[in-house]
A and B are shown apart, each in its own frame.
Chain A
Amino acid sequence: MTSTDTVVTDPPVFTDNESAKSSRPLEIAFAVIALTLAAGYLYLGTQIELRRPASAGQIDARFWPLVLGTIGVAVSLVLLVIAITRPASSREDIEPVQRGGVPRVILSVAATTAFIVLWSLNAIVAFGYRIEIFPIIAAILMLVLLLVYGQRRWQGLVIFPLAMTAFIYVLFGMLLRVPL
């Protein structure tokens, strides 16, 4: 790894000193999602199966979730009312999303999810050999992530994934005996 490697960076959508813009629809959407989740949690709380009813003075497994669900619904409702009736709160303390930022995150999540799914296969049998899948997919994941993050020089794209995978495999798989 050298500091001279080429890194492709995205042009900023905003200048350094700008912050994220306040947005009423965003605040309303957040409040609606919070309300839906809290209401769902509250409803599921009423459905918790009790093996035996609570004795007098005791609280059962539903009590605490119902308290929390009620608080969640109440607070979400107030947030929703505020989001609808008041100007959207300032987002000065939040850095703006840069061009290319959202795809970077989506591709990272997708690559990691694919990695987890493939890792669950553990090993494959090919040409009569049992091949452990972790080192292969770990190196590919690193390569994909480097490409997504803007690394373009082939030395970095080859050496870094191989070196990291070897390091992880030796340290965790062989020395610490983590079943990779």
Chain B
Amino acid sequence: MNPFLDGVGALLDPMVFLYILVGLLLGFLVGAFPGITATMAVALAAGFTLTLEPVQGLAVLLTIYVAANFGDRVPSILVNTPGTPASIATTLDGYPMAKQGRAGLALTISAIVSAIGILASLVLFAVAAVPVAQLARDYFKSPELFALVVFGIAIMIGISSKSMLKGILAGAFGLMLGTVGTYAATADQRYTFGTLELVEGFNFIAVIIGLFGIAELFDQLLTHHESKVRPISSLGRWWPNRAELKQTRRALAVSGTVGLGVGLIPAAGGDIAGLIGWDRARRVSKHPEEFGKGSIEGITASDTASSATLGGSLTTTMALGIPGDSVMAVMIGSMIVWGITPGPTLFSDRPDLVVSITGIMLIATILSLGLSLVRMRGMVKLLDVPRPYLWSGILIFCIIGTYATSNSLFTVGTMLVFGVIGVLLKRMSVPAGPVVLGLLLGPLAEENLARSLAILPTRPFFDVVSPIAIILLVLAVLSIVVPAIRNARRPAGRRASLADSILDDDTVSEIEKDHASLDEDAPLTGATAPVSATRATTEETEK
């Protein structure tokens, strides 16, 4: 059989379709609940999918990833609160549209352009994944692989950190965690303190459920207060007319291109793409003054761009082994447990997986679009689920999910400890993304550094260290230095991570003013959360 038929054949298993449906439901739910990110959901689901066949497990995780990109638009538009960080830019025009009585239209356009964005990105994945992997396999030896890991961690630090020093510390902390256990080259034990459970290192799933699940939950427990914002009740008409669809074309093209490009950058996710896409579309629009005031072009731009990152993110993850975003970091952890190691050799060993992954995401996108167009009214009620049920449910599932990975209570304890560490890091503005990336990629970095250093004395320097490695290392340095300089030039009170500083201050204050005036003019709901408040959630840039 050829890889295409193998890949399609794996999808014909009825259980795969069942797992896609499970992922669809979970993805929508987590997307619709503000505060539960796709990363948290995928981390949690990873604990339960480890016993499944790889394609079945991928069906659950990838579908959550896709469906969360649809579900998270609902609270963004109706409550002005992003369901996940990827829909931050949706609030800019989605909420004003809802306030003007056009919530149904905003939800429909959002779902359609999100589907277009994901489908376009899937074409990119299907076309680019194998050539990128082949290129990496042919030209990436140990020095290049070491440089690639350093670049991956550095760009995650550069994008997600407000303070570069804290970001570097987070990356170093992750790399340190990666040294716990047995050193593969010599079988020496490091930092195990005689504990049998640490001989193979920290359980990756326990760490990510702790850092992304428990820490997120604890942060909500710390900061939760009753919101005065009530969902918009007047949804208006649903279907856009021909003129409205025509308005979306330019924004669709510009922001789609932005999303595809941003998706290919490791660590840059839908939140960054959504804001950049919105900003670029506004610059080329014939009516830039309408952006932020309920513009159809605006919501098209934000949602196309954030959704179009999925394929690019998947490409860098699968073809290079460098997670495109934090959901993909979790995915890599699960795949390693299944015996599949993402990286340059993956698609030469398992070319059928490109077909299976594309197929799963295609089906998930179509089903999510279908569900988006029929379920909106019911989804609004989910926002009213009492928090005590939600929180206690999340905690017990985090515990059981972690336990199921190893049937060991030590692992559950590890999860709890990393949950506490995670919330402390979060409160100190230390991003969790570099920690996870360091833990995941640390052993790979060490192994390739060791090989490179072993070869160096035997051959001329530039025979060993190629221009590719040097360029990657230079890019790694720039990834940290450029944001640091940019932040240093801003006043102390206005320093922010990349995702928080894409829109300039004038634009942000203008949008806040517009949103405030909408509240005064058309009180369809209660108070409005300011744009600056929604921007605060971008600390999950790793999403």
* Pairwise interchain contact B186-A50, C-beta atoms closer than 8 A: yes
> Among the listed B176, B224, B396, which residue makes an inter-chain contact with A138, where contact means beta carbons less than 8 Å apart?
B396
- Which residue in chain A gives the minimum CB-CB distance to B453? A59
Which residues in window 86-113 of A have CB below 8 A to B?
87, 89-98, 101-102, 104-105, 108-109, 112-113
Task: Of the listed stretches B273-281, B468-476, B533-541, name the one at the interface; the rest are far from the partner chain.
Answer: B533-541
Q: Are B423 and A168 in contact (CB under 8 A)?
A: no
Contact A51 B186 (CB under 8 A): yes
How many interface contacts (CB-CB < 8 Å) are there between A and B?
Answer: 208
* Residue A60 lies at the interface, judged by CB distance under 8 Å to chain B: yes
What's the Cα separation between A19 and B537 when bound, in Å?
12
A3-B381, A95-B536 in contact; A149/B388 too (CB < 8 A)? yes
Pick the contact of B222: A9, A49, A102, A138 (CB < 8 A). Answer: A102
Check: B173 CB closer than 8 A to any chain A CB.
Answer: yes
- Cross-chain contact B165 with A82 (CB below 8 angstroms): yes
Whether A150 is near chain B, meaning CB under 8 Å from some CB there, is yes
List B444-465 residues whose CB lies under 8 Å from chain A: 446, 449-450, 453-454, 456-458
| A93 B429 Cβ-Cβ under 8 A | yes
Closest beta carbon of chain B to A52's beta carbon, Å: 7
Select which of A9, A98, A112, A179 is within 8 A of B223 by beta carbon.
A98
* A7→B386 contact, CB < 8 A: yes
Who on chain A is nearest to B219 by CB? A95
Partner of A105, one of B188, B221, B538: B221
Contact B404 A113 (CB under 8 A): no
Asked if B242 CB lies within 8 Å of chain A CBs, one says: no
Q: Are A116 and B416 in contact (CB under 8 A)?
A: yes
| Chain A min CB distance to B7 (Å) | 27
Q: State the CA gap A72–B407 with chains docked (Å).
A: 34
**Contacts A19-B536, A61-B190, A68-B175 hold; do A9 and B395 have CB atoms under 8 A apart?**
no
Interface residue B314 (Cβ < 8 Å from any Cβ of A): no
A126 within 8 A of B: no
Contacts of A30 in B (CB 8 A): 428
In the complex, the chain A residue whose C-beta lies closest to that of B386 is A7
Using A16-B529, A68-B179, A145-B395 as known contacts, say yes or no to A57 and B389 having CB atoms under 8 A apart. no
A57 touches B453 (CB 8 A): yes
Is B391 touching A3 in the complex (CB atoms < 8 A)?
no
A112 touches B188 (CB 8 A): no
State whether the Cβ of A158 lies closer than 8 Å to any Cβ in chain B: no
Contact of B176 among A60, A72, A92, A156 (CB under 8 A): A72
Query: Main secondary structure on chain B at its contact with chain A?
Result: helix
Q: How far is the CB of A14 from chain B (nearest CB, A)?
A: 8
CA distance A52 to B183 in the complex (A): 13
Q: Which of A51, A112, A120 contacts B395 (CB 8 A)?
A: A112
Instruction: Give the distance in Å from the alpha carbon of A45 to the alpha carbon of B456 in the complex.
Output: 25
Residues 51 to 87 of chain A near chain B (Cβ within 8 Å): 51-52, 54, 56-61, 63-65, 68-69, 71-72, 75-76, 78-79, 82, 87
- Residues on B with C-beta less than 8 A from A91 are 429
Neighbour of A95 across the interface among B179, B223, B226, B396, CB < 8 A: B223
Within 8 A of A (CB), among B499-543: 500, 527, 529-530, 532-533, 535-536, 538-539
Contact between B446 and A72, CB atoms less than 8 A apart:
no
Residue of B nearest to A9 (CB): B226
Q: Residues of B contacting A87 with CB < 8 Å?
A: 492
Pick from B225, B429, B456: contact of A94, CB under 8 Å:
B429
Identify which of B392, B396, B412, B454 contacts A168 (C-beta below 8 A): B396
- Find out whether the CB atom of B404 lies under 8 angstroms from the CB atom of A172: yes
A75 and B165 contact, Cβ closer than 8 Å, known pairs A95-B223, A168-B400: yes
Q: Are A151 and B227 in contact (CB under 8 A)?
A: no
Query: B360 an interface residue at 8 Å Cβ cutoff?
Result: no
Quick check: B393 and A164 within 8 Å, CB to CB? Answer: yes
B228 within 8 A of A: yes
Give the distance to chain B from A132, nearest Cβ to Cβ, in Å: 15
Closest-CB distance, B6 to chain A (whole angstroms):
28
B403 contacts partner chain A, Cβ-Cβ < 8 Å: yes
Instruction: Give complex CA distance A85, B452 in Å.
Output: 40
Q: Is the CB of A116 within 8 A of B188?
A: no
Known contacts A57-B457, A64-B179, A12 near B225 by CB under 8 Å: yes
| Contact (Cβ within 8 A) B168 A75 | yes
Shortest beta-carbon distance, A105 to chain B, in Å? 5
Interchain CB contact under 8 A, B386 and A3:
yes
CB <8 Å contact, B404 and A112: no
User: Is B496 engaged at the interface, CB distance under 8 Å to the other chain?
Assistant: yes
Closest to A102 in B: B222
Chain A 1-32: CB-based contact to B (< 8 A → 1; otherwise 0) = 10101010110100011011000001000100
CB pair A172–B400 under 8 Å, yes or no, is yes
Q: Is the CB of B228 within 8 A of A16?
A: yes
Produce 1/0 per residue, B215-237, CB < 8 A to A.
Answer: 00011011111111000000000
Report the nearest B residue to A48, measured CB to CB. B190
CB-CB under 8 A for A146 and B449, given A79-B166, A89-B163 = no
Tell me whether A125 is interfacial, beta carbon within 8 Å: no
Q: How far, in Å, is A180 (CB) from chain B's closest CB?
A: 8
The residues of B that contact A112 with a CB separation of less than 8 Å are: 395, 399, 416
A104 to B221: give the CA distance in the assembly, Å: 6
B382, closest chain A residue (CB): A3
Among A58, A92, A101, A141, contact of B493 (Cβ-Cβ < 8 Å): A92
A26 neighbours in B (Cβ, 8 Å): 428
Q: Does B243 contact A (CB under 8 A)?
A: no
Q: Kindly provide the distance from the CB of A165 to the nearest chain B CB, expressed in whole angstroms.
A: 9
Instruction: Give chain B nearest CB distance to A108 CB in angstroms.
Output: 6
* CB of B248 closer than 8 Å to a CB of A: no
- In the complex, the answer to whether B413 meets A116 with C-beta atoms within 8 Å is yes
Residues of A within 8 A of B (CB): 1, 3, 5, 7, 9-10, 12, 16-17, 19-20, 26, 30, 34, 38, 41, 44-45, 48-52, 54, 56-61, 63-65, 68-69, 71-72, 75-76, 78-79, 82, 87, 89-98, 101-102, 104-105, 108-109, 112-113, 115-116, 119-120, 138, 141-142, 145-146, 149-151, 156, 160, 164, 168, 172, 176, 178-180
Known: A104-B222, A105-B423, A160-B392. 12 other contacts (CB 8 A): A9-B226, A16-B225, A48-B188, A57-B458, A59-B449, A69-B176, A72-B173, A93-B536, A105-B218, A105-B222, A149-B221, A160-B389
14 A–B contacts from the bound complex (CB under 8 Å): A59-B454, A68-B179, A75-B165, A75-B168, A89-B429, A90-B494, A92-B536, A93-B536, A94-B427, A94-B536, A145-B392, A168-B400, A176-B51, A178-B403
